[in-house]
Structure 1
Amino acid sequence: MNQDKIKMREKLSFAMANFGNIPIMTLINGYLLIFYTNICGLSPAACATLFLIARFLDAINDPLVGFIIDHLPTRKMGHFRPTLILGTILCSVNFLLLWFGPMLSTSGKLAIAYVSYILLGVLFPVMDISLNSLLPVMTEDMKERNSLSTIKGLAYVIGALVIGVAAPLILGDTSNKQGYINLVLIMTAVIFFFSIIGTMGVKERVKPQMENSYSVKELFKILSQKPVYITFLAVLLYSIGSNIVNAANTYFYTYIFEDLTLASIITLITCVAVFPATMVIGNLIGRFGKKKMYAIGLALAGLAPIIRLLDVRSIPLLIVSVLIAGIGAGFAAPLNYGIQADNTDYIEVSMGIRAEGAVASLSSFVSKCAMGIGGAIPGYLLQLAGFDSKAAVQNDDVINVIVLCVLILPAIVNVVAIVIFSKGYPITKEKLNEQTYLLREKRSKAGISE
């Protein structure tokens, strides 16, 4: 198993590749709605319809993109790294169009928004699915996988926190056009350079078995396996809740706290809880298993904000809630991709197929659906409440909608997600150990990657 040992330099490269993936969805989820309303002059309802239609249209292609990536020939550079580099280049260009197209155009802003937003849904999966497929092929060693899963989750947490701190400071306020220009240019550079350099520094060790490549018919059978669809449903619901919060949170700080820079301070406070939780999750997995720890993480991250209902303008309550939620995020984020890798192994054990791309495509699919639903809900509700992008102070109905979206609706969908995962996910700690043993025996007999 020496060849499965991964050096620190490669782990740092893996972290860089994942860090470079963060700005795209983080900025879109947190700032695109308010950018379209306050800078481009689009109505919240028009934006909501855009998010909903575009995301569902392009979400359909994600399993097909995963199928295509799985069936591409393996090159000298590897199976997934070439498509990751191509996807990074295309996504970087389209990311610029997504923001600058509607902002700089004198007419047809909504049409440009539709084209660039739908195009994102076609191009981002090439980058995202390739990235999410790397972990299962970098190593078979479960300890190394858990380490990479922790690194991946930590990179995502750090990336989100860095953007959460930097974006409000760069913007100044949500109606600052030059602030958006600076923010988008900086983040595009991060996407491009971190992703490319990180991708060049990792290796693919587990070679795909082309004789076991699967058909389109088998693709749907793969996606109907219980661990796969239970994970899909739980993560979809949790992500919808997160996207509702992300889309509405900027409005919360702008119109309820009346201080966008407070978001930066709160993000820094979140770090106090997230990083220790992320560092200890590996030991907790060994003791309690991934299933239990993931459910606990979802519960803490998803339900802690409810205490803010006692006083929505209370800074102390805000701090307490983000500290508790930060612990949950520190548990859940690293486990997302470790569970995905376990599901990939489950498919190999139960069907005899390696399908990294197909399983990873669900992450992109979930992201699209969650963005569509989670981004649309605040838009429609703000429109119904009478949101006025030119008003510094909003009416009570708008304030109530913002509170509803940030605190109440996410808690409801999170409860459903926790129940589905806790009751339905079949790969317990004991079954995972058995699954790992069976794979090692199979590959040892075949002389594969050992």
Structure 2
Amino acid sequence: MEQSKNSQTKGSDNGNTKLSLREKISYGFGDFGNGFMFDLGQSYLTKFFVDTCGIGAAAVGGIFAFTKIFDAFMDPLAGSIIDGRKAGKSGKFRPVMMISSIILAILTVITFTMPNISLTSKIVYGYVTYMIWGLMYSFTNVPYGSLASVMTRDVEERSQLATFRQAGSLGAQLITGVAFVPILMMFNDKKIGYPIAAAVMACIGVISFFICFTNTKEHVVVNRNGKSEKASAKDYIKVIFTNRPLLCLILMQLFTISAMNTNNQMMIFFCQYNLGDIALQPKVNGIMIGCSVIGIFAIPFLVKKFGKKKTAISGLLIGIVANGLNFIMPTNQADPTIFITLVTIGYVGLAIPNGVTWAFVTDAIDYGHWHTGIRKEGVTYAAFNFSRKIAQSLAAIVSASVLGMTGYVANAQQSAETLLGIKGAMTLYPAVALALAAIVVGVLHNLPDDKYRKVAQDLQEGKWENGMLE
């Protein structure tokens, strides 16, 4: 603890801090732990509500859409509260992240628990529990996301942090995608299997956050020019809406995250009905996400050679082509090799820009400080996360709407129309969404690495634009 305290004082004003490999890996464990609770809701809660709880697809779509929009508005609240905290011996962001993750783990199990009540009461229970879960998720994820901005300002170090974060996220997706269904299938009564599987995953999540908490430090002491602690509502608007890199990220995430979540939500349906074997789901996820974990370790090399923007666009283009081809190619239950190959390539392509995003957002935090003279890590990250929640809501709407409009019947043989709808949600929608994301990044992003280095140098020297355009 004393060592952590020293990191807030001695030498911690060095924005170009070189981080140890242990600290970088430990930072990635935060998103690893995050995924063990977050990914369950994105991948399995729809099926739990529809097939196990007997809630209609349209009602489930309403639960996800409303609660995710509610969550999106909770992020700025969480960011504002966290920004108002003073750094203690363990820093400003890390303690909030750790305590909130424990509460989040408990709530994760509760969301996968359904009492024996009426259908209307089940729907209300789903709304309430998932809304509370989302509120606590905001108080876990916002401080974690803001942490990288006070660990270092070095461009290459941040790209490596982004890589380890994406590796943690994909690692969690890999394990939950491979292990959750086998644990669930051990129980004949799925109402027991779901909460037990969720409890196992949530415990791993808390342990991972503890690793992140104990092995990372908030090295960068920020000169806030006296404005941040007393910022008004007008200041918050200024922080967000004059930050073009942030606005670019908000739009980019709206498309990339909705594409990724729709893929994840529909995978279990696709394997069970289009491929005819639900047991294929862990295998497909293992190949698809496992290759993505390997692929994202190329991000630091790609960023160093081509820069973050070109690296992100290249990944998006790969995802567009692979998903588009996967929709056109016929589904072969006897030999799903082509499907698995293309869905894997598409997911690797999507993983690359999602990995670069974490470096983009920390750059946007510094750009906002430099551009306005106001530093709000929590609020800036919350604004970015707002778009992710809206994207998650959009994915839920797409998934549930496809099931509802094409006549999905739980645990029954599906019609040709339903099978086409499931396939379209898994492949065609991501192709279109990633194309829109590529256009957004290509047109709007205006903070290349060389310009960011100038921003970082100015901040290190106590200079900023005070709201004046360059």
TM-score > 0.5, shorter chain as reference = yes
Q: Which amino acid aligns with 2:199?
A: L
Which aligned pairs between 1:170-319 and structure 2 lie closer than 5 A? 170-172=183-185, 177=190, 178-209=192-223, 211-213=226-228, 214-224=231-241, 225-270=243-288, 273-308=291-326, 309-313=328-332, 315-319=336-340
State whether residues 289 and 429 of structure 1, in contact with CA within 8 Å, keep that contact through their aligned partners in structure 2: yes
State whether residues 238 and 302 of structure 1, in contact with CA within 8 Å, keep that contact through their aligned partners in structure 2: no
Alpha-carbon distance in 2 for matches of 1:383, 1:319: 26
| Aligned-residue offset at 1:174 | 11
Which aligned pairs between 1:16-415 and structure 2 lie closer than 5 A? 16-100=29-113, 102=114, 104-107=115-118, 108-172=121-185, 177=190, 178-209=192-223, 211-213=226-228, 214-224=231-241, 225-270=243-288, 273-308=291-326, 309-313=328-332, 315-391=336-412, 393-415=413-435
1:343 aligned counterpart, secondary structure: helix
> For the aligned residues, what is the CA RMSD?
2.2
Q: Percent identity?
A: 25
2:256 aligned counterpart, secondary structure: helix
| Aligned-residue offset at 1:302 | 4.4
**Structure 1 unpaired stretches of 5+:** 445-450
Q: CA 1:33–1:396 in structure 2 vs 1: closer, same or farther (change >3 Å)?
A: same
State whether residues 15 and 220 of structure 2, in contact with CA within 8 Å, keep that contact through their aligned partners in structure 1: no
Alpha-carbon distance in 2 for matches of 1:409, 1:175: 34
State whether residues 246 and 384 of structure 2, in contact with CA within 8 Å, keep that contact through their aligned partners in structure 1: no
Q: CA 1:302–1:75 in structure 2 vs 1: closer, same or farther (change >3 Å)?
A: farther
Q: CA 1:362–1:160 in structure 2 vs 1: closer, same or farther (change >3 Å)?
A: farther
| Aligned-residue offset at 1:271 | 5.1
| Aligned-residue offset at 1:321 | 0.9
Q: Which amino acid aligns with 1:364?
A: N
Q: Which amino acid aligns with 2:309?
A: K
State whether residues 260 and 350 of structure 2, in contact with CA within 8 Å, keep that contact through their aligned partners in structure 1: no
| Aligned-residue offset at 1:269 | 2.2
Alpha-carbon distance in 2 for matches of 1:383, 1:164: 24
2:153 aligned counterpart, secondary structure: coil
State whether residues 11 and 148 of structure 1, in contact with CA within 8 Å, keep that contact through their aligned partners in structure 2: yes
Alpha-carbon distance in 2 for matches of 1:242, 1:83: 28
After the TM superposition, which parts of structure 1 deviate over 4 Å for at least 4 consecutive aligned residues? 173-176
Alpha-carbon distance in 2 for matches of 1:302, 1:249: 18
State whether residues 121 and 368 of structure 1, in contact with CA within 8 Å, keep that contact through their aligned partners in structure 2: no
State whether residues 303 and 414 of structure 1, in contact with CA within 8 Å, keep that contact through their aligned partners in structure 2: no
Alpha-carbon distance in 2 for matches of 1:375, 1:433: 39
Q: Which amino acid aligns with 2:418?
A: V
State whether residues 135 and 145 of structure 1, in contact with CA within 8 Å, keep that contact through their aligned partners in structure 2: yes
| Aligned-residue offset at 1:60 | 1.6
Q: TM-score, normalised by structure 1?
A: 0.92
Q: TM-score, normalised by structure 2?
A: 0.88
Q: Which one is further off, 83-92 or 34-43? A: 83-92
State whether residues 297 and 330 of structure 1, in contact with CA within 8 Å, keep that contact through their aligned partners in structure 2: yes
May I ask how many residue pairs the two structures share in their alignment?
441
**Structure 2 unpaired stretches of 5+:** 1-13, 465-470
| Aligned-residue offset at 1:166 | 1.4
Alpha-carbon distance in 2 for matches of 1:221, 1:331: 30
| Aligned-residue offset at 1:353 | 2.1
